[in-house]
Structure 1
Amino acid sequence: MAKRPQLTGRAAILAVVVCAIAMSLAYPVREYISNRRHIAELEAQKSRVEAERQALAEEARRVSDPNWTKRTVKERLHYCGQGEKCYVIARPPGQSTQKVAAQQQADPAPWYQKLWETIEAADNGTGQKAPTGEKSGK
Structure 2
Amino acid sequence: MTGTRRAAMFAMVLCALALSIAVPLRTYLSQRDELRDVGSEQQKLREQVAALEQRKAQLQDPAYVEIEARKRLHWVRPGETPYIVQLPGDESRNTESERPSGKPAAQGSWYEELWESVTHK
Whether TM-score is above 0.5 comes out as: yes
Equivalent residue in structure 1 for 2:84, among 60, 72, 89: 89
Matches of 2:74 and 2:30, distance apart in 1: 57
Specify the alignment match of 2:56 in structure 1: 60
Structure 1: gaps of 5 or more residues:
104-138
Structure 2: gaps of 5 or more residues:
93-121
Specify the alignment match of 1:77 in structure 2: 73
* 1:59-104: CA deviation from partner (whole Å, max 9, x where unpaired): 001111111011112222332224x52323175xxxx1x3368x8x
Q: Greater shift after overlay, 70-79 or 36-45?
A: 70-79
Specify the alignment match of 1:128 in structure 2: none
Normalised by the length of structure 1, the TM-score is 0.58
Equivalent residue in structure 2 for 1:22, among 18, 21, 34: 18
Matches of 2:33 and 2:41, distance apart in 1: 12
Aligned-residue identity in percent: 26
- Output the aligned Cα RMSD: 2.4
Normalised by the length of structure 2, the TM-score is 0.65
Matches of 1:99 and 1:22, distance apart in 2: 72
Deviation of residue 11 (structure 1)?
2.3
Does the 8 Å contact 2:76/2:82 carry over to 1?
A: no
Aligned residues: 92
Larger radius of gyration: 1
Does the 8 Å contact 2:69/2:75 carry over to 1?
A: yes
Matches of 1:23 and 1:73, distance apart in 2: 67
